[in-house]
Amino acid sequence: MTEAETPPETPRETPLPPSTTGERRTHDPVPPDQLQADVARLMGVLAAGGVAIAPLDVAYAILAATPEGIRRIFDAKSRSYEKPSGMFGNFAMSAALHIMTDDCHAMVREMVEQVGLPFSVVAPFREGHPLLAHVDPFVLQSSSKAGTLDMLLNAGQMHDEIARQAGDRSMPVFGSSANLSLSGSKYRLGDVDHVVRQAADVAFDYGLSQYANHQGRSSTIIDFRDFSVIRVGVRFAQLRQAFKDRFDVALKDLTP
């Protein structure tokens, strides 16, 4: 499909209805001091080899930073190592690590800073970059594929603070949705499968994920080498329209 062609229709995302009990949502503002303290606690657990469950706007996620933690995640989720984890990042991290054209970096920046929707960037990366200097080879191997790195962006206030503190500590954080493999994302901490919840040393409950939906979708994953869509996620229709309107780029939805 060329960029001028009209992309195929994508099944409409059906959001979960708003709670009638005033349920807290992950995008409800958290006092900065509390958010920083929560993430500092989380980062301490990960640095010690542990596992954490974090509330993201796209879904609850399970994450680690060491070989011990990564193995516990894959075992708890019954996840194949053929499906790598993703890195929790921000635009600065993507600009530093991803090997892309200047135009692609500019697209990512505009999507992060102006559009504000969650998505993951897949692209070749600089394995020798100082930010990755202290990442165990096993962790990096299980979090990359064919020389590319998947980095999640714009997934909410806790995600962004995790990325910030990870950058400050030069301790990248990796993870995936907090659910059994192929079972659909979980949007409340209480809905996380017991075996997955038990794998975590610490878990944070910020309420219902902002983009909770009946399809069980999480983030959209885009391969920036050719703009193919590895996974259709939340707000995909809006993301696709933004790429078309702003950059005249048609996302190639090749998912079944």
Please give the pLDDT value at position 50.
98
Is residue 9 included in any domain, yes or no? no
Mean pLDDT of 227-234: 95
Question: Please, which pLDDT band fits residue 21 given cuts at 50, 70 and 90?
Answer: low
The region of weakest confidence among 19-33, 159-173, 183-197 is 19-33
Give the structural domain span for 239.
Answer: 32-253
Does residue 5 lie in a domain region?
A: no
- Whether residue 13 lies inside any domain: the answer is no
Structure-token pair, residue 134: 């202290």
Task: For residue 82, tell me if it sits in a domain.
Answer: yes
Q: How confident is the model at residue 253 (pLDDT cuts 50, 70, 90)?
A: confident
The pLDDT of residue 13 is 66
Pairing mode, if any, of strands 148-153 and 144-145? antiparallel
Determine, yes or no, domain membership for 159.
yes
Query: Are 122 and 224 in contact, with CB atoms under 8 Å apart?
Result: yes
Residues in the chain: 256
Per-residue model confidence (pLDDT) at position 7: 42
* Residue 107: predicted pLDDT: 97
Q: Strands 148-153, 174-177: parallel, antiparallel or unpaired by DSSP?
A: unpaired
Q: What confidence category does residue 6 fall into, taking pLDDT thresholds of 50, 70 and 90?
A: very low
Pair of tokens at residue 173: 């954080």
Quick check: 9 pLDDT over 50?
Answer: no
For residues 57-81, average pLDDT:
96
CATH number at residue 199: 3.90.870.10
Confidence of residue 5 (pLDDT cuts 50, 70, 90): very low
Average pLDDT over every residue of 26-34: 96
Q: How many domains does the chain have?
A: 1
What pLDDT is recorded for position 12? 62
- 150 pLDDT band (50/70/90 cuts)? very high
Give domain status of residue 136, yes or no. yes
Q: Residues of the chain with pLDDT > 70: what percent?
A: 91
By C-alpha distance, which of 72, 71, 69, 62 is closest to 175? Answer: 62
Asked, for residue 135, whether it belongs to a domain, the answer is: yes
Q: Note the pLDDT tens digit of each residue in 165-194.
A: 999 999 999 999 999 988 889 999 999 999
Other Cβ atoms less than 10 A from the Cβ of 108: the count is: 23
Which stretch of 5-9, 88-92, 249-253 has the lowest confidence by average pLDDT? 5-9
pLDDT tens digits along 34-60: 999 999 999 999 999 999 999 999 999
> What whole-number distance in Å separates Cα of residue 168 and Cα of residue 172?
10
Would 101 be classed as within a structural domain? yes
Question: What are the backbone angles phi and psi of residue 172, rounded to the nearest 5°?
Answer: -55, 145
Residue 225 — very low, low, confident or very high, per pLDDT cuts 50/70/90? very high
